Amino acid sequence: MTLLVVTAVEAEAQAVRAGLRQPVAAASGAEPPQRAPVTVAAAGVGAAAIAAGTARLLTLAEAAGDPYQAVVLAGIAGGFPGRAPVGATVLAAHSIAADLGADSPEGFIPLDDLGFGTTIAPADPALLARLRAALPTAITGDILTVNTVTGTAQGVQTLAGRFPAAVAEGMEGYGVARAAAAASVPFAELRTISNAIGPRDRAAWRIPDALAALTAAARALGA
């Protein structure tokens, strides 16, 4: 399987490459001359940027006659307290655009209820099963994609109530999932937890530990 792994930022891409037996770096839009089984690219922060970057990489590979067979979004994320502790590895059963919809006096209305599409992108079952087998201690649940990261206790409570299966939140998963779906390529999302979702406490963030956990998890991608 030729696999494209996309991350938001270069630090995450470097952590993934460090865990691969055959590391390959590709800038967004670049064409590797001889592609190894796994290609890693930092494709942008936020759902829109990373969707555009992922779509470009997929299109270039297809145009070259060597399409990718799967896409994995990998990176660090915030974990829901009591569901995914700092340092944990999590896999998405679904990547969900949690704030894509409309506000109303009665509360938030998701895109699904508005009739304009879906906010839920399920992971490819076979790809998810492969990752779960390679990462037996990983937590599987829903991973939320948000445009504004949650920074209040009330925000955590609201999201936890709306999404009882959610274990983490990031800013890119749903965007990569939509790009993969448009190209008919299997998709999965893998995250490692750097901090608890909620009031911002930078002193409690464990980004180096989460990147180290991402390196360890990346070994499963190259297996």
C-alpha to C-alpha distance for 80 and 109, rounded to whole angstroms: 22
- Tell me the pTM: 0.91
pLDDT at 202: 84
| Buried b / exposed e along 160-187 (16+ C-beta atoms within 10 A) | beebeebbbbbbbbbbbbbbbeebebbb
Per-residue model confidence as pLDDT tens digits over 178-222: 999 999 999 999 999 999 999 988 888 999 999 999 999 999 887
The CATH fold assigned to 3-218 is Rossmann fold (3.40.50)
Q: Domain extents for the chain? A: 3-218
Per-residue model confidence as pLDDT tens digits over 123-157: 999 999 999 999 999 999 999 999 999 999 999 99
SS3 103: coil
| pLDDT interval class at 36 (50, 70, 90) | low
